[in-house]
């Protein structure tokens, strides 16, 4: 299946539904669960091993942006545990649901910074997705956008990665979790991270952990523009 289906688009950065804003992965690092961001800007399937993807991207932690490179390997592929979840998702313009099948993958993730000192993100991940009879491929995510699914490898976030950020001295190493839906990845860490009518607003008390500008699309991953020459 992996030879016939390239999963690279599901690992690459996501667009918001209106296709105007890029969505990086967001999550938490360390004992204080400070905000950590990751965006994969290039994902390429290995020509000989279809379960291996070579990736490039950037991380941001406390305003420090670093380039990262590495590999994501599909270690296991299986049917998604609940095929009925697609009944209300994959519909065409006439409201008909084309035949689709959902899958789950377990991932091994190994990223390293391209600057000194070398920092490493080592972990495992879960990716849940479906493919319909028309070839459309999308992540399977939580229906309401905020409720975690403990039975899915992606926990309802579509893509979720957790592991250890290795920063050299042992005292600086710490656990991390990153996902496409930060409200779901926060579920194991905070009881009150999401507030508001649907729990889709970040609790202001966590502004000190880097969440004060979450809704600002500052495109921190964009390459700095070279100044134009003037004559």
pLDDT above 90 covers what percent of the chain?
45
Q: Is residue 223 part of a domain?
A: no
Q: Is residue 227 part of a domain?
A: no
Q: Is residue 231 part of a domain?
A: no
Instruction: Give mean pLDDT, residues 133-149.
Output: 83
Nearest to 193 by CA among 23, 185, 143, 32: 185
Query: Looking at residue 197, what is its pLDDT?
Result: 67
Residue 16 has pLDDT above 60, yes or no: no
Q: Is residue 179 part of a domain?
A: yes
pLDDT above 70 covers what percent of the chain?
84
Residue 120 has pLDDT above 80, yes or no: yes
Q: How high does pLDDT run on average in the chain?
A: 84
Query: Looking at residue 230, what is its pLDDT?
Result: 43
Instruction: Give mean pLDDT, residues 23-30.
Output: 91
More confident site: 199 or 70: 70
Q: Is residue 102 part of a domain?
A: yes
Structure tokens at 159: 């893509």
Q: Is residue 228 part of a domain?
A: no
Q: Is residue 57 part of a domain?
A: yes
Total of domains in the chain: 1
More confident site: 32 or 146: 32
Q: Is residue 225 part of a domain?
A: no
Query: Domain range holding 119?
Result: 8-209
| Distance (Å, whole) CA 47 – CA 60 | 30
């Amino acid at each position: 299946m992996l030879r016939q289906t390239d999963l690279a688009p599901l690992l690459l950065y996501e667009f918001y539904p209106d296709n105007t804003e890029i969505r990086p992965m967001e999550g938490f690092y360390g004992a204080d669960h400070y905000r950590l961001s990751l965006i994969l800007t290039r994902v390429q399937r290995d020509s000989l091993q279809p379960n291996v993807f070579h990736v490039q991207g950037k991380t941001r932690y406390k305003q420090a942006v670093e380039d990262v490179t590495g590999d994501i390997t599909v270690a296991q592929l299986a049917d998604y545990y609940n095929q009925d979840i697609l009944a209300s998702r994959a519909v065409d313009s006439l409201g008909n649901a084309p035949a689709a099948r959902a899958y789950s993958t377990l991932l091994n993730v190994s990223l390293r910074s391209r600057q000194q000192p070398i920092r490493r993100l080592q972990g495992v991940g879960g990716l849940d997705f479906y493919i319909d009879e028309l070839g459309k491929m999308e992540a399977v995510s939580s229906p309401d956008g905020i409720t975690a699914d403990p039975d899915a490898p992606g926990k309802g976030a579509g893509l979720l990665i957790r592991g250890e950020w290795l920063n050299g001295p042992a005292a600086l190493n710490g656990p991390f979790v990153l996902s496409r839906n930060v409200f779901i990845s926060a579920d194991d860490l905070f009881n009150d991270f999401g507030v508001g009518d649907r729990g889709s607003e970040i609790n202001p008390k966590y502004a000190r952990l880097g969440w004060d500008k979450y809704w600002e699309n500052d495109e921190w991953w964009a390459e700095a523009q070279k100044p134009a020459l003037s004559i």
